[in-house]
Structure 1
Amino acid sequence: MQVIKESYGQLDQQSVFSYTIINDQGVEVTVINYGCTITRIIVPDKNNHYENIVLNYETLEDYLSDTNYLGAIVGRVGGRIKGGSFELDGKEYTLMQNDGTHHLHGGKKGFDKVVWDAEIIEGGVCFSYVSKDGEEGYPGNLTIKVTYTLNHNNELSIHYEAVTDQKTLLTVTNHSYFNLSGDAKRNILNHTLTLKSDEFLELDQDFIPTGHKAGVANTPFDFRRENLIETGVTSNYRQNVLVGNGYDHPFLLNTNHDNEIVLKEKESGRTLTVETDEPAVIVYTSNMLQSEKDFQGVPSQKYLGISLETQGLPDAIHHANFASIILDKGQRYTSVTHYKFGLMVD
């Protein structure tokens, strides 16, 4: 296993480096220590043609001005927090409001917008960061580690660990946009998705969970059997139309570490299987992809990638029927998500 470190640029007198992990199958994963951002995942198609399967930019400057959270770790809380505030133990905390009056993906300068420390380890890279008490409005000094490892079975693992010295909120995720066609040469409408999920969270007009867990049966949200992404894009179902014709919804997972999320693209033959210990995956079909930049020379456009954000539920602090995302003082936060890259069997 190789890990190649290269200079990627400078930010406020801090050095940014890229780390490319290469296994003996020729699969490559490149991550930069700005935002722990995945910039490339190179895997073969059915004809053994190696291509990148995540949307990326060419330069650090592009990532500095990115509004799409492209490939980055987002937190302290992935997703939206209604009104940009919450209460813990009778005390009200006001967060950075960076999505109208709401808080999104950790705020204006969340985990995606900082330079992390990095250490090369066996088979990967361990990134670490100390989020100070009050950063973006969150209480507590939080020490967090995010470790990327690649094995020779073409499996990328992301391990999260954190501790805090004061009760706070935490649920982090990776925000890569996958496109299994390779080098974004086709959109993701003809990708198929299979989810072991019976319920999804209904959203309001601001894309905040209403608290209602809706059944997927007889809706375009039923991926219990393999279904085309295009199904929800062309549907007039209210929840699909609401988010810009597609998906931007949390799905509650029935099971963990059991092939619970499978993405496929028939033309390339590529498959991606995601397994996690998180309770949910937010499926986002890039309905609102900002168009200020190109990706790999391909003009930015809706449906160019799909994010599979494994995490706790957005706005959980305001819903007693959602699993808690509160991290107590001294409690250890741990989470792991595995991404298995493969090929369809004829």
Structure 2
Amino acid sequence: MVKFTEDQFDLYTYKNTGKSVSIRLFTWTNENKVSVQVITYGATITSMKIPDKNGVVKDIVAGFNNLAGYQGLNPYFGATVGRAANRIGLGQFKCLNEIIQVSKNRGENHLHGGFVGFDKVVWEHFVDGNKLILSYHSADLEEGYPGDLVVHTIFELTDSNEFLVEFKATTTKPTYVNLTNHSYFNLAGHNAGAAELYKHVVCINADQITDVDEDSIPTGKLLPVADTVFDLRVPKILGDLINKVPKSTGFDHNFCITKGPEQGTTFVARVYHPESGRVLEVYSNQPGVQFYTSNYFPENSKSKETLTGKDGNYYKHGALCLETQNWPDAPNHENFPKSILLPGETYYHNVSYKFSVKN
């Protein structure tokens, strides 16, 4: 039986009106001592507490203790990211017969929805049993995207230790939609650091990755993973690979999930931390997953910049992300999966985070 509660997390004040609203905190706890927390700011997962093989419970996702943290220098910890996750080259995409210009918030390119993406807004909430439904209306031309977009993100924890997330969206005009959740995982504990992350054993169900240029914008080419550092079809120890990624300081790549033409939800990835015994499996209906290893976190304690989270500072390679999504920059590449949502259609994306313990 899953226990589901609601509390206040913090207060949010709208700059234009001065009006304050309560940021709500929702907590699920099942009989296996698994608990997950989500807040209405950014439709954000703030905590995932999972027992290890000895019954010791630890929080395994990076985040902050208060709203100020999520509004500050926040690398999208646990957030719902959109209207389009990942990068759009030159902030432009093809939408039917038009070229749409969106905001450029990462140099000359667009990243994760722009300056004020879905991670930086307060979502409306509705509770249906143990399901939390968070909703947001993205207005026409917000960050340059056409169409009024209504988005729902649905969260639920099950007794079988699965945390389920669904994204749904409808639009009034043709537009680009590519949503994801941006949780950062370290199965040894969210603040266990790179030394423990390197011990993780990672498997990703992908025969190819999307090739990118020096700005991480896809070139349109697909590269086979065979005989490269990207071949994670057989489980590999992360520390043996992470510093061998070419032209990068770690993984930050879209893996093209291997699935049949009519196959829906399928296995995406598996991560295992041998010392704790914690296992995370990811399943989704999306064609890709962005595997990211916190390459741009502060280098170490001597760095000028700091990233202070729930229990101290986070550093480079301290966590990993498995962002299920469409392939990046998809509208600009005819060989990439369909990415333009039309009026009358419903965007649908599901992802399951399934936790277990290996003795």
TM-score by length of 1: 0.95
User: Please, which of 242, 247, 250 is the counterpart of residue 242 of structure 1?
Assistant: 247
Counterpart pick for 1:303 among 289, 296, 317: 317
Q: In the aligned structure 1, how far is the partner of 2:54 from the partner of 2:333?
A: 48
Q: Structure 1 135/232 Cα, relative in aligned 2: closer, same or farther at 3 Å?
A: same
Q: What is the TM-score with the length of structure 2 in the denominator?
A: 0.92
Change (3 A) 1:286 1:152: same
C-alpha distance after superposition, 1:199-228 (max 9, x if no partner): 011111001111111111111101110001
Q: Match of 2:341?
A: 327
Residue 259 (structure 1) aligned with residue 267 (structure 2): yes
Quote the Cα distance in structure 2 between the aligned partners of 1:298 and 1:241.
31
Structural mapping, 1:144-155, within 5 Å:
144-155=151-162
Whole-angstrom CA distance in 2 between matches of 1:71 and 1:133:
26
Which consecutive residues of structure 2, in runs of 5 or more, have no partner in the other structure? 15-19, 299-304
1:1-346 matches, cutoff 5 A:
1-11=2-12, 12=14, 13-187=20-194, 188-235=197-244, 240-243=245-248, 245-255=249-259, 257-290=265-298, 291-345=305-359
Superposed displacement of residue 88, structure 1: 2.1
**Cα distance, 1:179 vs. partner?**
0.4
Which letter does structure 2 place at the counterpart of 1:277?
N
Farther off after superposition, 144-153 or 290-299: 290-299
Q: What is the deviation of 1:317?
A: 1.0
Please give the secondary structure, in 2, of the residue aligned with 1:260: strand
* Alignment partners' CA distance in 1, 2:182 and 2:246: 22
Distance 2:193 2:87 in 1: 30
- Asked if the contact 1:141–1:165 (Cα under 8 Å) also holds between the matched residues in 2, the reply is yes
Q: Aligned-pair RMSD on alpha carbons?
A: 1.3
Question: Which ranges in structure 1 are unaligned for 5 or more consecutive residues?
Answer: none
CA shift at 1:292, angstroms? 2.9
Question: Aligned letter for 2:60?
Answer: I
Worse-matched range after superposition: 336-345 or 106-115: 336-345
What is the CA–CA distance in structure 1 between the aligned matches of 2:108 and 2:74, rounded to whole Å? 17
Q: Counterparts of 1:241 and 1:213 in 2: how far apart (Å)?
A: 16
* Structure 2 CA distance for partners of 1:167 and 1:183, relative to 1, 3 Å: closer
Q: Which moved more, 1:143-152 or 1:284-293?
A: 284-293
CA contact (8 A) 2:286 2:349 kept: yes
Q: How many residues align?
A: 340
Contact kept in structure 2, 1:21 and 1:124, CA below 8 Å: no
